[in-house]
Amino acid sequence: MAIGTIGAAGDGNGLAEDGQRVFVPLTLPGEQVEAVPLAPRGGGVAARLECVLAASAERVTPPCPQFGTCGGCVLQHWQTAPYLDWKAELLRAALVRAGFAAPAVAPTVPTPPAARRRMDLALERAGPDLRVGLHRLRGSEVVDLAACTVLHPTLAGLLAPLRDALRGVAALRREGAAVANLLDAGPDLLLRTDAEPSLADRQRLTAFARAQGLVRISWARGGDEPEPIAVLQAPVVTFSGVTVAPPPGAFLQASAEGEAAIVAAVLAGLPARLPPRARIVELYAGCGTLSFALAARGVVEAFEGDAGSVAALRAAAAGAGRTGRIEARRRDLARQPLAAAELANVAAVVLDPPRAGAAAQMAALAAAGPACVIYVSCDPVTLGRDAGVLRAAGYALAAATPIDQFLWSARVESVAVFVRPATPAVRPGGFSAPRKRPS
């Protein structure tokens, strides 16, 4: 069959002889392939690629030997330029579905390989084997990773030693997970296991942490609150020149390069002329990725649901003398979104919700009508859904920047800037543009 386009999951879309849509991974537009149907999926059928009969000129040799098996990357076989264009098109299509005709989407900002400083790893004990890695492409089995092309070398270097250490840890009975963050002084590791670690387990993990230069190693059972096993150096990360001590397993942007692109796009999206104490509301603030950069432009009210992240943000603001510029508040925005009255007299709202988006918050946000809404998203689908609420309330799209933070995956990070028609649109770089009709 012929492959027409690449869908939102990174699979090639083709048509079977009976006219049924077929989703074939590891293919490219224009290729002729043989594929075996597997199971119904989303109005079509998922298939397994058997062979490529006629390859695209855009096909390249994947840099990772586990590509095609590991589910972390799905597009290493595509040339960079069309791959980045495809990510921009995913964002553009989502904004069109939201009601913004012909949205102006900037070129995708690339990030380099070997730059991921945060990764969620799956752990699985299978008889005498212990697997540390990611789930199989379109499957649930854990693929044991010997190396990783996207992971920062410091974190990639932990894969084999962690596997060796966990083989002797009785607390990992069948399966678990690990969150690896690369902080300023070294790796910070949170293990989630299906049993409580014994004294021997804790001693073994502490020895592993010392040998591998970890700043901290922590443990939690399932979704419980983490507890440190060993803190060997100060577990800190720097945001906009301010040192923050994040909790174990804290959310960080996936790469320093991606974070820098997000911060730049957010600051460029703010109104060009803000009074020194302009009120900026930040939703889903984490432990301050954007907060300190925003505090240079106004007074920030930062809302976050995770208690550890709020505590870290408060402590960092106090330590940096920014308590008059940043007020951190704990709030579960899915269960208790801000009311429209709480968003009155706001110069800008900046939100960076999880992948599920901010559906519960959008109606009140649109009703409050702040002049500027800047939405940081890691999923064009939920961004488009939430942006549709703003479009219905009369907002125009001023800027949209895709960022390839999740290299070679189908995920797209983006920053979208929405303005009221009565306010000047903002060009990248923070310059005011003449007012335009809503697109």
Q: Which residues are catalytic?
A: 378
Give the C-alpha separation, 167 to 144, whole Å.
13
Residue at token pair 């591998």: 212
39, two tokens: 């199971």
Give the β-pairing of 348-351 and 372-377: parallel
Long-range contacts of 110-114 (CB under 8 A, 24+ apart): 110/80, 110/84, 110/404, 111/255, 111/257, 111/258, 111/261, 111/403, 111/404, 111/405, 111/407, 112/257, 112/407, 113/63, 113/149, 113/150, 113/407, 114/149, 114/150, 114/151, 114/152, 114/153, 114/156
H or E element, residue 89: helix 80-97
Taking alpha carbons only, the member of 137, 411, 122 closest to residue 258 is: 411
Residues 6+ away with beta carbon under 8 Å from 18:
none
Give the β-pairing of 142-144 and 129-135: antiparallel
Give the C-alpha separation, 5 to 179, whole Å.
34
DSSP secondary structure letter of residue 140: S
Give the C-alpha separation, 130 to 302, whole Å.
41
Residue 124, beta-bridge partner list: 131, 175
Taking alpha carbons only, the member of 167, 160, 156 closest to residue 130 is: 167
Give the C-alpha separation, 265 to 271, whole Å.
12
H or E element, residue 363: helix 359-368
CA angle 176, 177, 183 (to 5 degrees): 150
Give the C-alpha separation, 306 to 277, whole Å.
27
Give the C-alpha separation, 328 to 287, whole Å.
9
CA distances in angstroms from 152 to 76, 80, 319, 438, listed in the order given: 17, 20, 29, 42
Give the C-alpha separation, 250 to 253, whole Å.
10
Q: What is the CA radius of gyration of the chain?
A: 23
